[in-house]
Amino acid sequence: MTRPQTVRHESDPEIGRVLRVSGGKYHVEIPSGVLEASLRGRVKQKDDRIVSVGDLVELGRVEDAVRIERIVDRTSALTRHGVAKRREQVIVANVDQVVVTVAAAAPEPDLLMVDRLLALAELSAIHGLVVVNKIELAGTTDVPSDMAPYVDAGYDVMRTSAKTRHGLEELAERLRDRISVFTGQSGVGKSSLLNALMPGLDLRVGEVGQRKGRGRHTTVAAALYPYPGGGYVADTPGLQYLSLWEVDPASLDTGFVEFSEFAETCRFGDCRHRREPSCGVRDAVERDDVSERRYASYLGLLEEAEGK
């Protein structure tokens, strides 16, 4: 009896989805369950194509071992730029939706981070959704006034409480049949929301008081979870270091969706909406048609993208 070297046929590759990576092992979901796979040398060497959570991968089996042979082309990717290595890292691949989470209170919303995350989503052609968690601490379930610019820009701003379960059904609805990534400051309740939405998930949550310094995150790596009823959700560590330094400064304005109709009236096609004459965006800010605070975020991120 000949022992098969591999059960994979070129015409019919076995495909799985990477759910998480730990200790050099890739946890890959296949129709019959989750298996552990290792990387084939040649996949490993390609710097720009490091296997990431969310990737669809082609698997090869040699005896009992499962190896990742190839990454299926990505439809999108949420990336950050490693501060130390100065190169792009894919946080989650094939993302449909970025859920930018803030807390109504504790911690105070970092609005520059919200703008940064939404811009990053727009620039990656990923749908952005804003969630204000811990809404029971606000005393009202209305959209907090500092979040109004996002409503005006056309974003859905959902209000939730992982504690009282307010708004969870609506949020659950938005997660179905998509790959959604929860992002936002540490301590806003991303893991708590996922635990509340997916009983049995049991992600670790941290005390707000423990997280004074930067980089003390309860969640340390991105991981993807199959969502009951279809789709996936990813929990990520609070993304403090997310940087835009590789973004083309000339296209940063497309990361601010409400600028676009006004940018059309700028005198210069390559207007960066800073000090150029006859700038439609600046005029809109002066008329209060565009939030001054969002515009200030744009200018700050523009400097960053320009490497200043």
Ligand X SMILES: Nc1nc2c(ncn2[C@@H]2O[C@H](COP(=O)(O)OP(=O)(O)OP(=O)(O)O)[C@@H](O)[C@H]2O)c(=O)[nH]1
- Please name the residues in contact with 241: beta carbons below 8 A apart, sequence gap of 6 or more: 80, 83
Please choose which of Mg ion, Zn ion, ligand X, none residue 186 contacts, taking the beta carbon within 5 to 8 angstroms, the exact cut-off set by kind: ligand X
Select from 8, 20, 134, 273 the one that contacts ligand X (CB under 6 A).
134
User: Binding to ligand X by residue 167, rule CB under 6 A?
Assistant: no
Site string for ligand X, 236-265 (x = CB under 6 A): -xx---------------------------
Least distance from C-beta 219 to ligand X, angstroms?
3
Select from 52, 76, 133, 219 the one that contacts Mg ion (CB under 5 A).
219
User: Binding to ligand X by residue 219, rule CB under 6 A?
Assistant: yes
User: Binding to ligand X by residue 190, rule CB under 6 A?
Assistant: yes
User: Binding to ligand X by residue 207, rule CB under 6 A?
Assistant: yes
User: Binding to ligand X by residue 201, rule CB under 6 A?
Assistant: no
Please choose which of Zn ion, Mg ion, ligand X, none residue 273 contacts, taking the beta carbon within 5 to 8 angstroms, the exact cut-off set by kind: Zn ion
User: Binding to ligand X by residue 172, rule CB under 6 A?
Assistant: no
User: Binding to ligand X by residue 280, rule CB under 6 A?
Assistant: no
User: Binding to ligand X by residue 128, rule CB under 6 A?
Assistant: no
Nearer of residues 38 and 240 to ligand X, judged by Cβ: 240
